Amino acid sequence: MSITKQPEWLNNAVFYEIYPQSFNDTNADGIGDFNGIIEKLDYIRELGCNAIWINPCFKSPFGDAGYDVEDYYTAAPRYGTNEDLARVFSEAHARGIHVLLDLVPGHTAVTHKWFKESMKAERNEFTDRYVWTNSIWESPEGMGCIRGISDRDGSCAVNFFSHQPALNYGYGKINEKWQKPTDDPACVATVEAMKDVMRFWLDMGCDGFRVDMASSLVKNDTKNKKYTCKIWRNIRDMLDVEYPEAALIAEWNGPRMSLKNGFDMDFYLNWQGNGYNWLMRNYDGAMDSNPHNIGKAYFCKNSGTGIDKFLDDYLPAYKATHKDGLWCFITCNHDTIRPSAGLTTDELRLAYATIFTLPGAPFVYYGDEIGMRYLPLPTKEGGYFRTGSRTPMQWDDTANHGFSTADAQDIYLPVDTAADAPTVAAQADDPDSLLNNVKSLLAFRHAHADLNADAPFKVLYAPKAKDDYRPFVWQRGDLICAVNPAGVSIELPLELAEDLKIQYTIGKAEIVNDTLSLGAQSFAILG
């Protein structure tokens, strides 16, 4: 196996996640498109993002917002053509922006030609491309299934929704005659088919992939995903030889597995009770039923929560994996409720300042830079509670907030109609806006190599919370970052070098007699 060398461009990367349906519509059909992305590339660059991740944009029946792929080789016509997508790559590259596509290797749509062939009673090249039992009366243990829709006698396992049949990468532990080992020719063929998909888009100009449900490939895998990890190492070997600058990021939240087995990056995802949850969210109830009852996260002004709840989860994984790759923070993504649902603008400033200065390559979800709201909406294209985080980007105060010139009833999802709905235009000229706060933070990050993704990181001061005293101080290279999320001023008992100066602030900060004082809800960088 080759030794993976992380692409150097990731070290200074800040990503912008684009949900293409809702970003920018240029042909007045109510749905965002590739030309709309191109039109806003200068905005993305000026924001401080030098890489983008585009959610699935392949041909699909859109039963799950494009995560049900019908054709891996064809762009979804609603967004444009393959040539239009190639132009996204070239126009982005001209501006120094890298582009990742969303790869869905674990399942397809039922309309995919591979699945249509696998449904046939007579054996063919694709008979074993999916996970089928030997009888429609037999269900795959622990999984949903599709049955009774084909001449083939069997039930097909599904990976997520009932219309997403699971591709066959084999079984780690074999319990049934129809289960195949991972080295079976049919399972190997699935891996090779996915490699060919990746080659196709990389040859066109794509810079890598975010991999959906990356841990889900092999069924009945071991606790440490032994067989799935082996597949990703195999794919990484191919990339290292053929596309050494291609980046691979996992939707896994398992850096001990993902980063040690072929991935350059993994997401630190919001799971109930984990470190990220305590840092940014901490919902009291179900996400889909009561999204606004947040109040215990570290950045909530009056939460009383200390940084230890985050660090107890984060630090062990970081220390075990930081030499292997990047475990990355997100403001939000297409699967989670926007952070503005539970954090005020002042709280968001501090949250963003922190995650933009911690290790890894940060990801900004479109609209989070202006504090777009979560809207409780009926489900759309398999979104369910997630639908409310997928609403059209709010550019200005024209019709549909500048997203589209289509009639309001024809746009993909309704816009925020509140009188104070945040927009890019309204915040652009306000030096105190969240948008300009994000711009200044990212500009500072890009100007200081000590804030690069893999720069050294050390916790300097992280006491357990005592009433409103709950600061957090960390070091990146020669820079010292400090945050006080509470509503009272504090002093930090740090031994500061005489030549240290305050380089960046949110709120109030000063050094008096070698002591750092932080005002209420404040953040500072010293160097």
How far is it, in rounded angstroms, from Cα 186 to Cα 190?
7
CB 271 within 8 A of CB 282: no
Measure CA 467 to chain center.
34
Give rounded-to-5 percent helix, strand, coil for the chain: 30, 15, 55
How far is it, in rounded angstroms, from Cα 18 to Cα 40?
11
Torsion over CA: 202, 205, 207, 213 (sign): negative
Which residues in the chain land under pLDDT 70? 1-4, 283-294
- Exposed / middle / buried, residue 218 (Cβ in 10 Å: 0-12, 13-18, 19+): buried
Q: Where are the domains of the chain?
A: 8-105+187-447, 107-168, 456-526
**Overall pTM surpassing 0.85 (yes/no):** yes
DSSP 185: H
- Exposed / middle / buried, residue 39 (Cβ in 10 Å: 0-12, 13-18, 19+): middle
Q: Phi and psi of 478, rounded to 5°?
A: -95, 5
| Nearest to 396, CA basis, from 432, 422, 367 | 422
Buried b / exposed e along 470-482 (16+ C-beta atoms within 10 A): bbbbbbbeebbbb
According to the model, what pLDDT value does residue 4 have? 53
Q: CA of 373: how far to CAs of 188, 195, 294, 437, 504, in Å?
A: 44, 38, 14, 18, 28
**CATH-assigned architecture of domain 8-105+187-447:** Alpha-Beta Barrel (3.20)
The type of residue at 114 is W
According to the model, what pLDDT value does residue 372 have? 97
CB atoms within 10 A of CB 94: 9
Assess if CATH 3.50.7.10 describes domain 107-168.
no
CB 516 within 8 A of CB 507: no
According to the model, what pLDDT value does residue 460 have? 96
| Nearest to 6, CA basis, from 237, 248, 330 | 248
CATH number attached to the domain at 456-526: 2.60.40.1180
The type of residue at 445 is R
Q: Phi and psi of 316, rounded to 5°?
A: -60, -40
The type of residue at 42 is D
CB contact set of 165 (below 8 Å; sequence gap of 6+): 107, 108, 110, 115, 118, 130, 131, 146, 156, 157, 158, 159
According to the model, what pLDDT value does residue 286 have? 43
